[in-house]
Amino acid sequence: MRVRKLIAFLVAATTLIGLVPGAASAKTGTLTGLYNSRYCEVFTVSAPTPPDFTIQVYNTVGLNDCPADEWNAIDYSAVAADTGSIVAVPNGPRRWLIDTIANGKADQPVDIGGLEMRHVAVLTVPSLSPPPYTEMSIARTTTWVYDKGRKVHWIVSPEGRKYALQAYTTNTDKSLRAKNLDSLGENPGMALPEGWRYRTIRLKKQLRLKAPGVVTIMRDALGGTYQKFKWPKNFFKPVKKHKKHH
């Protein structure tokens, strides 16, 4: 029962790590051209300090687009045995809504069930599954970049806290596409709590969301993942045009 609850938590959490602080040997880098690109994650789970669980996170970001044949062929029991874990579970496929990951760290590629991945993070999580729209913390020092002209979607809590949508998945709703996310707030599957709002804006300038070391994330009821954020100071202030001197 505990393992079943844990799997529910893992699939629900959809942590959306990307590139995050890893081992001392991890290299720092920047990945561009990510918008709407497909990626997958695998979580391997151990319990060295009950009742919490430790999760090793592997993903395909920057390596491949998680080919369906290879993804569907992964034997998770074998992955668990190979990694000495209690269980291994999939998270994905997912698609980015950011353009760039800057200042990311990740280890060298490894083979996970026949698919090339990188170890990108270690998480410690409680044993119970949090419901949608529950804040969770994760260690990360990366910067998410949304390019000028890109649409940014976010949800707002009744208290005014803002959470930017980073990635979506079609695992729950097969009709979701990057092009139809403007109306996501009207999707019955979102089950937005009372007082919560969904917003969309097209950026007139690049938006950079920096992670200072620990960030707050959450998921919606359709598996989309969000990062808590504040608009940068003077972000909506018009850019002054410099007069040309003749």
Q: Is residue 170 part of a domain?
A: yes
Q: Is residue 176 part of a domain?
A: yes
Q: Do the Cβ atoms of 165 and 156 come closer than 8 Å?
A: no
Residue-wise pLDDT tens digits, 44-92:
988 877 777 788 889 999 899 999 999 999 999 999 999 999 999 998 8
Q: Is residue 243 part of a domain?
A: no
Q: Is residue 234 part of a domain?
A: no
Q: Is residue 242 part of a domain?
A: no
Give the domain range for residue 132.
2-229
Could you give the number of structural domains in the chain?
A: 1
Which tokens is 125 given? 């999580």
Q: 225: which strand partners?
A: 167, 219
Q: Is residue 245 part of a domain?
A: no
Q: Is residue 246 part of a domain?
A: no
CA–CA gap between residue 109 and residue 121 (Å, rounded): 13
pLDDT at 197: 98
CA–CA gap between residue 87 and residue 76 (Å, rounded): 8
DSSP character at residue 192: P
98: nearest Cα among 195, 49, 7, 32: 32
Question: Does 92 or 200 have the greater pLDDT score?
Answer: 200
CA–CA gap between residue 200 and residue 164 (Å, rounded): 10
